[in-house]
Amino acid sequence: MPLTNNAKVNKNTHDTRVMDYVSRLRNNGYIIIEDLVPRLMIDQINEELRPSFHQTPNSEGLFWGFQTKRMGRVFTKSPTSQALATHPVILGIMEDILGPNCEKFQINLTQAIRIEPGEEEQLMHRDDEMFPWGHPGSEFMINAMWALDEFTAENGATVVWPRSHLKPVQREVPQEELVQAEMKPGSVLIWLGSTQHGGGANRSRKARTGLTISYSLGWLRQAENQYLAYPPEVAREFPEKLRELIGYKVHRPNLGWYEGQEPEVLFEGRPESLPALDLVPRDVELMIQEYLAGKQVA
């Protein structure tokens, strides 16, 4: 008998705004939500990230570029960015699309991306290409790119191929179908893991900065190793929802435990030995109870 919770129903919040975003996202493969957070919050995030950007060398790779800076561990570098990750509209969208295929979705990575002048257009790709298992129609992950700067066609706004999530992946893409996510700071571009896109070329004189926070099914490996990025002594300071999203909560049944317990026990120190617990969903617990009761009667 499988211990997975197939009976799970969609826990959508039924927020009509979220439902409208979800339907556009499913149709077009991407959406832009204008001004989702105030400009002041973005100013604060930029301020917090300034020293880290200053220290970070350019990325080195044909895919990640040579005139681009990329930084992980963003929640420690910018505490204010934590609220972007747990924004209720974003979580509502993730719950609706990823929720039905996992017990809980998770954060896949954080990356602040600064495309410097002179950077070329990134290879068009799907973010879910790292998962070597095609499963058309079900999304593994979804990406949210928060504009920390003005995103313009000239400075490298993300290039998106609308509706490409409905087609096989291809590198030569029809230029006339591409759109660029021009948006103001505080707006967010969201695209499906199966939507083809890439960073734009920066033909301006100023850098373009964005913050990606992506989410994935809770039973997949995360791209950015969240437990190394945020070990228990760091994560214990985070809000509870964020700790859960980065993985300090078991994905039931039985994925991600520490000594058979919820990893959050580590926030209280490192106990020498602990009893292993059944970490299964309630319906599985009931099923086991019923099975054992039936055996006793027989």
Ligand X SMILES: O=C(O)CCC(=O)C(=O)O
Binding site for ligand X (CB under 6 A): 113, 115, 122, 127, 145, 158, 197-199, 210
In the bound state with Fe ion, the residue whose beta carbon lies nearer, of 198 and 232, is 198
Binding site partner of 158, from ligand X, Fe ion, none, Cβ cut-off 5-8 A by kind: ligand X
In the bound state with ligand X, the residue whose beta carbon lies nearer, of 68 and 76, is 68
Q: Least CB distance from residue 111 to ligand X, whole Å?
A: 7
The span from the first CA to the last CA of the chain, in angstroms, equals: 19
Q: Least CB distance from residue 143 to ligand X, whole Å?
A: 7
Binding site partner of 223, from ligand X, Fe ion, none, Cβ cut-off 5-8 A by kind: none
DSSP string for 65-85: -SSEEEE--HHHH-GGGHHHH
Binding site partner of 210, from ligand X, Fe ion, none, Cβ cut-off 5-8 A by kind: ligand X
How far is the C-alpha of 190 from the C-alpha of 213, rounded, in Å? 10
Task: Count the helices and strands in the chain (H runs, E runs).
Answer: 9, 9
Binding site partner of 188, from Fe ion, ligand X, none, Cβ cut-off 5-8 A by kind: none
Q: Least CB distance from residue 105 to ligand X, whole Å?
A: 19
How far is the C-alpha of 45 from the C-alpha of 2, rounded, in Å? 44
Q: Least CB distance from residue 71 to ligand X, whole Å?
A: 12
* Interacting residues with Fe ion (CB under 5 A): 127
Is the C-alpha dihedral spanning 230, 236, 241, 245 positive or negative? positive
Helix (H) or strand (E) holding 114: strand 106-115
Q: At a CB cut-off of 8 Å and minimum separation 6, what does 39 contact?
A: 185, 186
